[in-house]
Amino acid sequence: MKRLVVIVALLCWWSAAFSQEAYLAKEELPDVVQCVPAPPQDPSTGFDYDILRYMWGKQQRRDSVRLEMAVRDAIWSMDTTLAILGEHFGLRVSKAETPAIYEVLTRGVATIEGIRFKPKEHYFRIRPFAYFKEPSIFPQDDEWLATEGSYPSGHTIRAWACALLMAEINPACAEAVFARAWASGESRVISGCHWQSDVDASRPVASIGYARLQTSPVFRAHMALAQDEFRRLASPDQGGREHFVKITDVIPDAILEIRYFGTYNFVGKRIDGYLEPIAMLTRQAADSLKAVSDDVMKLGYRLKIYDAYRPQCAVDHFVRWSKDPSDTLTKRYFYPMLDKPVLFEQDYIMAKSGHTRGSTVDLTLFDMATEKEVDMGGTFDWFGEESHPDYTGITAEQYANRMILRDAMLRHGFKPLDSEWWHFTLKDEPFPDTYFTFPLR
């Protein structure tokens, strides 16, 4: 009799899952019973691990912050899931404010999560709290939860499906949104409502449903609308980040001295948009810079980076500073021979910078033998003719050092700037007309 009640309940839940006009009919979803391993049997090594993880989950409940997260993750509401993962998505998702994104997420998740019903009915696995005859963190729900199989975890499938869809809309959020979806799955172990193997199976199950979802022409059309909506509405914190890489991820030997993250720069303050001391470039520019690094390493040098991608908000900060004649804190260190208003007039500071297009880098050489910067006969961001690459008022050795850097950069597709020996831009930059503004973090 209990089995019949469960089957009826599952059919009701299936209907509810597809009440949002699913992109695929239930018959079109793969039968994961045929492709995902069965849950561990009792007794077995796998089941022993499930028990250990159940005990781990009970220990995690002692952490009030983690327990609170587990409680929030347990709310079976699509809007709650969107709010939880939306914290890392880049936009606040709602039916009113982001209708195209809301549509594809709710319908897409409703379609994918329907894949869970066949294995739940087939295996009808007992839940951990029922197995141990202990309450879960939701004792008020234990009675009815005990009547539904635990394998796989519907909550985990829902979170993972939502993360897959969000990452397709905004690839830049992938790392953060998948990390949060992973934690949401672990919350089910902490709650006592799912075994670890339930959760572990749920992520590939969601991925199987997601792969099948891609075959729906309606879904593909809606996804394109959602991606377009994101591009139009995305905050500056996210737009375009997916085209960039951290220089140190491509060139681990590069040394960073990100001047605009600190106060040792011509403004004398941390510059807007520099939230972390990192350097980023478009992937194409970073790959070319890696070839430069390989060349100079053979000569005993490493690359030292002062700046690379520069958010537009940072350039705006420079412009505001240049228009404040009373702020001359750094004049003696960076522009002693010039009046401040001239900096803007003579293009030392511009309202638009090649750095903001993402393929320009400011750098020097670091001598591995002496463990010091190479003497270039001038300092970074010095406003004056001494910074011109062809300036002759320096020693022959200093000039030769500039040429070592310049020749390596030109050899691998970069072009120099006439007024700054440290400044180079990729000739074939991928975004010659786009000025990005996401912050460095």
Average pLDDT over residues 301-306: 98
Q: Is residue 20 very low, low, confident or very high in pLDDT (cuts 50, 70, 90)?
A: low
Angle (deg, nearest 10), helices 396-411 and 283-298: 130
Q: Is residue 240 very low, low, confident or very high in pLDDT (cuts 50, 70, 90)?
A: confident
Q: Is residue 235 very low, low, confident or very high in pLDDT (cuts 50, 70, 90)?
A: low
Q: Could you give the CA distance from residue 375 to residue 391 in angstroms, rounded to a whole number?
A: 14
Q: Is residue 153 very low, low, confident or very high in pLDDT (cuts 50, 70, 90)?
A: very high
Tell whether the model's pLDDT for residue 228 goes beyond 90.
Answer: no
The pLDDT tens digits of the residues spanning 61-94 come to 999 999 999 999 999 899 999 999 988 887 789 8
Long-range contacts of 366-371 (CB under 8 A, 24+ apart): 366/255, 366/301, 366/302, 366/303, 366/304, 367/300, 367/301, 368/300, 368/301, 368/302, 369/300
Q: Could you give the CA distance from residue 358 to residue 438 in angstroms, rounded to a whole number?
A: 11
Q: Per DSSP, what are the bridge partners of residue 364? A: 304
Helices (H) and strands (E) in the chain, counts: 18, 8
Q: Could you give the CA distance from residue 257 to residue 274 in angstroms, rounded to a whole number?
A: 13
Q: Is residue 342 very low, low, confident or very high in pLDDT (cuts 50, 70, 90)?
A: confident
Q: Are 178 and 163 in contact (CB under 8 A)?
A: yes
pLDDT in the model for residue 172: 84
Tell whether the model's pLDDT for residue 379 goes beyond 70.
Answer: yes
* Integer angstrom CA distances of residue 143 from 18, 153, 422: 25, 17, 69
Q: Are 127 and 193 in contact (CB under 8 A)?
A: yes
Q: Are 384 and 376 in contact (CB under 8 A)?
A: no
Q: Could you give the CA distance from residue 352 to residue 319 in angstroms, rounded to a whole number?
A: 10
Q: Is 281 helix (H, G, I), strand (E, B) or coil?
A: strand
28-37, 138-147, 190-199, 364-373, range with the lowest pLDDT: 138-147
pLDDT in the model for residue 242: 82
Q: Is residue 239 very low, low, confident or very high in pLDDT (cuts 50, 70, 90)?
A: low
pLDDT in the model for residue 14: 38
- Catalytically active residues are 420
Outline where 18-116 has alpha helix (H).
45-60, 64-73, 78-86, 99-113
The pLDDT tens digits of the residues spanning 160-203 come to 999 999 999 999 889 989 999 999 999 999 999 999 999 999 99
In this structure, are strands 244-246 and 301-307 parallel, antiparallel, or unpaired?
unpaired
Q: Is 230 helix (H, G, I), strand (E, B) or coil?
A: helix
The pLDDT tens digits of the residues spanning 429-441 come to 998 888 888 888 8
| Type of residue found at 171 | P
The pLDDT tens digits of the residues spanning 105-120 come to 999 999 999 999 999 9
Give the domains, in start order, of the chain with CATH numbers: 2-233 (1.20.144.10), 241-426 (3.30.1380.10)
pLDDT in the model for residue 4: 37
pLDDT in the model for residue 140: 82
H-helix or E-strand spanning residue 321: helix 312-322
Tell whether the model's pLDDT for residue 17 goes beyond 80.
Answer: no
Q: Is residue 11 very low, low, confident or very high in pLDDT (cuts 50, 70, 90)?
A: very low
Q: Could you give the CA distance from residue 130 to residue 193 in angstroms, rounded to a whole number?
A: 9
In this structure, are strands 420-426 and 360-367 parallel, antiparallel, or unpaired?
antiparallel
Q: Is 303 helix (H, G, I), strand (E, B) or coil?
A: strand
Tell me the average pLDDT of the chain: 90
Tell whether the model's pLDDT for residue 236 goes beyond 70.
Answer: no
Q: Is residue 248 very low, low, confident or very high in pLDDT (cuts 50, 70, 90)?
A: very high
- pTM, 2 dp: 0.54
